[in-house]
Amino acid sequence: MIVVTGAAGFIGSNIIRGLNRRGITNILAVDDLTDGDKFVNLVGGQISDYMHKDEFRRGVLEGFLPGVRAVFHQGACSDTTERNGQFMMDNNYRVTLELFEYCQTHKVPLMYASSAAVYGAGPHYAESLENEKPLNVYGYSKFLFDQVLRARMSSLTAQVVGLRYFNVYGPQEQHKGRMASVAFHNMNQFIDEGHVRLFGGWDGYADGGQLRDFISVHDVVDVNLHFLDHPKVSGIFNCGTGRAQPFNDVASTVVNTMRTLRGQAPMSLEELVRHGSLRYTAFPEDLKGRYQSYTQADVSALRAAGYKSEMRDVQTGVAEYVRALHEASAGAQ
């Protein structure tokens, strides 16, 4: 049996589908469906059992989860604006530590979600302590467990892999609200209002010019499954494309993909702005000093660990995502 925590979430539900594509359906899905609408992310995947996260946590602490082959631990509070440090540290750090100890005791491979938030404002994004300066308690909760893994690397009894996700976008993120990707928000803005909005310039960057490493969830799943296939490899690895692209690339790809689907010709960035299809809003005061204006994963360690597949750029991955959202929307009507 393979365990996927955060199974009804964005990345967790996509990992289930990735496992299903390999013919693996003996999956224990762990999540919190108090918000019952999240069940929709489980519908398209095949699992063998479901367990509430609190029941699973008790099972981990009491050691009664027999027959586990591997764990993909994606369950966490991913809201970077959450200020309740007690909740964040228990939910993201302590639960991960408990699961780590269980997996080490029972010699079970563990792949867990870390985050590029550990790097704070950067500008260096290689997996090294001197680069790690989280700007919020979310980033710190991820940072702290990464230090546990580093301290225990020489005495591991089973594989442990921490993946530092950069800006992930793709299907199954509709429940994330404000924390959903800019591609998702831009798509909905364009459908609802006929234009998309981005933050204006700040921190030395032009309007829409802040740079992020945007990675398709399909590539994230492939990276996770790569480590399932290589159980002798442990460590902390960036999970990004190694390519920084401006938010303008995301917005223009969303609009031009929709224009193409409607039989209209694509426009340049300048034409989109002039036409009013792309608009800029003042940079929010509450994000100043707590915002990553630039991220770009150093993927040297990931490549050295044997992951060789090419990753989608924004123009490819976002266009693929927009077409999928458009098809799903058309199918629901």
C-alpha triplet 89, 92, 97: angle, nearest 5°: 95
Return d(Cα 122, Cα 134) in angstroms, integer: 9
**Whose CA is closest to 161, among 67, 91, 229?**
229
Q: Closest Cα to residue 321, out of 267, 264, 253, 222?
A: 253
Q: For 264-299, what is the HEC assignment? A: CCCCCHHHHHHHCCEEEECCCHHHCCCCCCECCCCC
Type of residue numbered 37:
D
User: Rounded to 5 degrees, what angle do the CA atoms 74, 75, 79 make?
Assistant: 105
CA 186, 326, 276: angle at the middle one, nearest 5?
Answer: 35
Which among 176, 205, 280, 291 is annotated as catalytic?
176
In order, the DSSP letters of 148-186 are HHHHHGGG-SS-EEEEEE-EEE-TT-GGGGGGS-HHHHH
Is 205 considered catalytic here?
A: no
SS3 91: helix
Paired tokens of 80: 């970077």
Q: Is 291 considered catalytic here?
A: no
Helix axis angle, 247-261 relative to 182-193, nearest 10°? 40
Whole-angstrom distance, CA of residue 40 vs CA of residue 8: 8
Instruction: State the catalytic residue, choosing from 112, 125, 138, 321.
Output: 138
Catalytic positions, written as ranges: 138, 176
